[in-house]
Amino acid sequence: MEQPPGFVDPSQPTLVCKLHKALYGLKQAPRAWYSTFSSFLLFKGFLQSRCDSSLFIHSTSSSITFLLIYVNDILLTGSDPSYLHSLLTQMHNVFSMKELGDISYFLGISVQSTAQGFFLSQQKYALELLLKAGMTTCKPCATPSSAKPSVTAADSLSFSQPFLYRSLVGALQYLTITRPELSSAVNQACQHMHAPTVAHFSAVKRILRYIKGSISHGFLFAPSSFHLTAYSDSNWAGDATDRHSTSGYCVFLGSNLISWSSKKQSTVSRSSTEAEYRSLAHTAAELTWLQMLLADFHIPQPSPPVLWCDNMSALSLAANPVFHSRSKHIEVDCHFIREKVARHQFCLKYVPSLDQLADIFTKSLSTARFSFLTSKLRVGLPPLSLRGPDKKEVQEVQEEVHSV
């Protein structure tokens, strides 16, 4: 630490100021703010969730209140309006806060309330991404990745702007929060961050072209049951470079999609059964966490979650320990699903490959197949009761980008 230029004290040049309070913008400021705010909530009778350290719950015999904090953004909801009003008054007395009313925009996600439920989208964020890439006038395409990619000699050349590639792919990762159908294509793009080629950047541009044609898309949360169901799938040896498989799953709460993943497996699987079995283990871990989270929300499960898989051999391996000779090389942590099945905590069922919804998270698909699965995930245009694209909002985004 040194005294800043122009403010050096000649008599005491080695002295500097010591902060007694964390300032906004310092590296330690978010942690100091979280510690202060969480201490306030715990003092007011809130309990911190075991599943999510940013979730705080206050429950009594007649009401329940949930508070979610992300740095300095806070979501608050509950069943007792009078207690919510009292809590907000106390928070205003202790902290300098601004109350924004009903949720409409949170962390770049637009939340629109309709008669059907809540529609979540990132239209403004997607537009900013297209402007950043200079592709606002590009030609749209029907899918984010090609089922049969063409290869040319120039595709193997190193991309001249690797920073641009990493910046765009990192931004695309955040867009998958409301666009689950992009997960597989974005996962593929993330695997080449260290040394992208011309072909890899062409794949990213195809994703952006798809976004251009579906910029208003998002998904709807509608009233439904609280029963958990999940679909698990894998693409065995799908990576032509190292022959690793890709795991994919999607979890529904009633009819609403709440969790999904597309991830390359860390080891090579010797068979499609092994690849599917590993994917089942990943899905089971996510279901276990979601069950704990729903318990924190005081939402009981009417019956064990149903886990759908399209591989009969993997289902047999998960339910029957007789196949030891075929699975003794698989890591022990993958076998915990057998214990879940034996305790009747999960219900494994077979689903035909044509009805496997997680297929969209494991590989590139044809246009017809991609459109079918996207509709099953309830991803699409907003309900007709919502307003269309706001030209003024688009113009504001363009002016912001040009000014930067």
Instruction: Report yes or no: 225 and 254 within 8 Å, Cβ to Cβ.
Output: yes
Question: Under 8 Å CB-to-CB from 140, ≥6 apart: which residues?
Answer: 209, 210, 212, 213, 214
Strand order in the sheet with 246-253: 256-264, 246-253, 228-235, 306-309, 347-350
Query: Would you say residue 147 has pLDDT above 90?
Result: no
Q: Which two tokens stand for residue 386?
A: 């919502």
pLDDT of residue 293: 93
What is the mean predicted confidence (pLDDT) over 177-202?
A: 92
User: pLDDT class for 212, splitting at 50, 70, 90?
Assistant: very high
Lowest mean pLDDT, pick from 56-65, 105-114, 380-389: 380-389
Please state, rounded to an integer, the average pLDDT across all residues of the chain. Answer: 86
Lowest mean pLDDT, pick from 51-65, 72-86, 171-185, 323-337: 323-337
pLDDT of residue 404: 43
Question: Under 8 Å CB-to-CB from 113, ≥6 apart: which residues?
Answer: 102
**Using one digit for the tens of pLDDT, what is the confidence trace for 270-316?**
888 888 988 998 999 999 999 999 999 988 888 899 999 998 988 88
Architecture of the domain delimited by 219-380: 2-Layer Sandwich (3.30)
User: pLDDT class for 230, splitting at 50, 70, 90?
Assistant: very high
380's enclosing H/E stretch is: strand 379-380
What is the distance between the alpha carbons of residues 126 and 71, in angstroms, rounded to a whole number? Answer: 23
**Using one digit for the tens of pLDDT, what is the confidence trace for 317-351?**
887 765 555 666 676 667 778 888 888 888 999 99
Question: Under 8 Å CB-to-CB from 380, ≥6 apart: which residues?
Answer: 217, 218, 219, 374
Instruction: State the pTM of this model.
Output: 0.84
pLDDT of residue 277: 87
Query: Would you say residue 261 has pLDDT above 90?
Result: yes
Domain locations along the chain: 1-101, 118-216+383-403, 219-380
**Got the DSSP string for 140-155?**
P-SSSS-SS----GGG
pLDDT of residue 399: 56
